[in-house]
């Protein structure tokens, strides 16, 4: 009887263990059939290493910015920085040893008097140093709409003021020369006003220059916002509309009329390409190599050559380097909001992270 009880007890213990084992097995099966859970004893698969993405080359202050194979430097030459035409804008204030922040240009006449030959902007714009600042390592030119129209120092104040829009004209105190390579990292404002990086012969009497020419080299000229077909009334065609002036790398060489050498209409040679994004949405490195002899200018965008241009005449005259924002005569006025003048001061500003100039010297 005792053995019988022991056998029964033994059987009960075995049955209990079998039942517990069955439950654990079901739990394991449930885990295996869960598609989000891997088998515990499955060997982990070796993960393929993703190829390392090559980082985009970034501009470096020690040399001009070119992508691979784009540097036109001859093998026996090296690029040397022209310090007087280079600025990283890191000092918190504009360097007045390098730049004029006012458009004023005083010229001494033969009788000893002085006259202001400066340009203060297009008809409805006033260039002013109050719109120039150095903020967070950038030179910024604010585009604004005034509450009341302004006069420039050269305006006839007996007539109504018409300058409703404020911009600026920052020019170099050192001349740019043939053989120099100019580059700047720039983003346009969000307004209908221009954002420009360019060179121009000084506004002096042509009789005082070596060649009597009035020349202009535009490295980049665009607007931050474009009002489309409203420009047709001025242009009489769709050139500005079709060119997408707010999505453009627009470069040019101009020969203007003078009293000395050429009295005809403006002569121009240049070109443009369009971006997918708006000029106001991203920075680009805009650049130009003004060849020795002045018979060729190469235009680059983000380190890549876009086009080589032969100017209307050889560009042999020295020119001032300029950063500016202007309200073009061909831009039609609209509401303040539509033109971008209700945007933040940061967005309304043309921004230059740096400007650098280089020349070639023998190794």
* Vertex 61 angle, CA 58 and 66, to 5°: 50
Phi-psi region of 48 (alpha: psi -120 to 50; beta: other; left: phi over 0): beta
Distance of CA 117 to the CA centre of its chain: 29
CB 177 within 8 A of CB 315: no
Is the separation of the CB atoms in 215 and 204 below 8 Å? Answer: no
Residue 99 zone, left/alpha/beta (φ > 0; ψ -120 to 50; rest): beta
In angstroms, rounded to a whole number, what is the distance separating the alpha carbons of residues 166 and 54?
A: 43
- Catalytic-role residue among 221, 276, 292, 361: 221
CA distance 326 to 167: 6
Q: Are 253 and 312 within 8 A, CB to CB?
A: yes
- Asked about 142 being catalytic, the answer comes back as no
Catalytic residue among 216, 276, 292, 333: 216
Distance of CA 355 to the CA centre of its chain: 11
DSSP helix/strand/coil, 71 = coil
Contacting residues for 218 by C-beta, under 8 A, at least 6 apart: 196, 198, 250, 251, 252, 253, 254, 270
Parallel/antiparallel/unpaired status of strands 125-127 and 163-176: parallel
Compute the distance between CA of residue 85 and CA of residue 209 in angstroms, rounded to an integer. 22
144-150 and 163-176 as β-strands: parallel, antiparallel, unpaired?
antiparallel
Catalytic residue status for 276: no
Two tokens, residue 5: 């009880």
CB 349 within 8 A of CB 64: no
Question: Do the beta carbons of residue 274 and residue 281 sit within 8 Å?
Answer: no
CA pair distance 23, 14, nearest whole angstrom = 15
Q: Which residues pair with 255 in a beta bridge?
A: 215, 267
The Cα 301–Cα 145 span in angstroms is 31
The set of catalytic residues is 216, 221
């Amino acid at each position: 009887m005792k053995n019988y009880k022991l056998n029964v007890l033994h059987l009960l213990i075995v049955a209990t263990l079998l039942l517990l084992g069955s439950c654990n097995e079901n739990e394991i099966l449930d885990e295996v059939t869960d598609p989000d859970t891997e088998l515990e004893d499955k060997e982990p698969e070796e993960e393929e290493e993703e190829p390392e993405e090559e980082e985009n080359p970034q501009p470096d202050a020690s040399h001009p910015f070119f992508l691979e194979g784009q540097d036109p430097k001859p093998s026996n030459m090296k690029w040397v920085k022209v310090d007087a035409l280079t600025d990283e804008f890191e000092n918190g204030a504009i360097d007045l040893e390098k730049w004029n922040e006012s458009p004023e240009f005083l010229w001494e006449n033969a009788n000893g008097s002085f006259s202001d030959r400066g340009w203060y902007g297009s008809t409805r714009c006033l260039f002013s140093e109050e719109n120039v600042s150095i903020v967070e390592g950038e030179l910024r030119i604010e585009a604004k709409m005034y509450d009341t129209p302004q006069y420039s120092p050269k305006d006839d104040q007996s007539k109504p003021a018409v300058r409703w829009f404020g911009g600026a004209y920052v020019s170099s105190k050192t001349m740019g020369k043939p053989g120099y390579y100019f580059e700047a990292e720039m983003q346009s404002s969000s307004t209908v006003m221009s954002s420009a990086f360019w060179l121009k012969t000084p506004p002096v009497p042509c009789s005082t220059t070596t060649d009597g020419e009035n020349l202009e080299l535009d490295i980049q000229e665009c607007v931050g916002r474009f009002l489309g077909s409203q420009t047709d009334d001025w242009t009489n065609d769709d050139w500005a509309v079709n060119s997408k002036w707010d999505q453009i790398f627009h470069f040019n060489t101009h020969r203007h009329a003078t009293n000395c050498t050429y009295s005809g209409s403006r002569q121009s040679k240049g070109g443009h390409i369009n971006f997918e994004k708006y000029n106001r949405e991203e920075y680009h490195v805009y650049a130009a190599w003004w060849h020795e002899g002045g018979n060729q200018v190469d235009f680059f965008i983000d380190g890549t050559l876009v086009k080589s241009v032969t100017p209307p005449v050889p560009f042999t005259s020295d020119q001032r380097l300029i950063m500016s924002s202007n309200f073009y005569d061909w831009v039609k006025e609209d509401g303040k909001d539509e033109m971008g003048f209700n945007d933040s001061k940061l967005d309304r500003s043309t921004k230059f992270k740096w400007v650098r100039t280089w020349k070639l010297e023998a190794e």
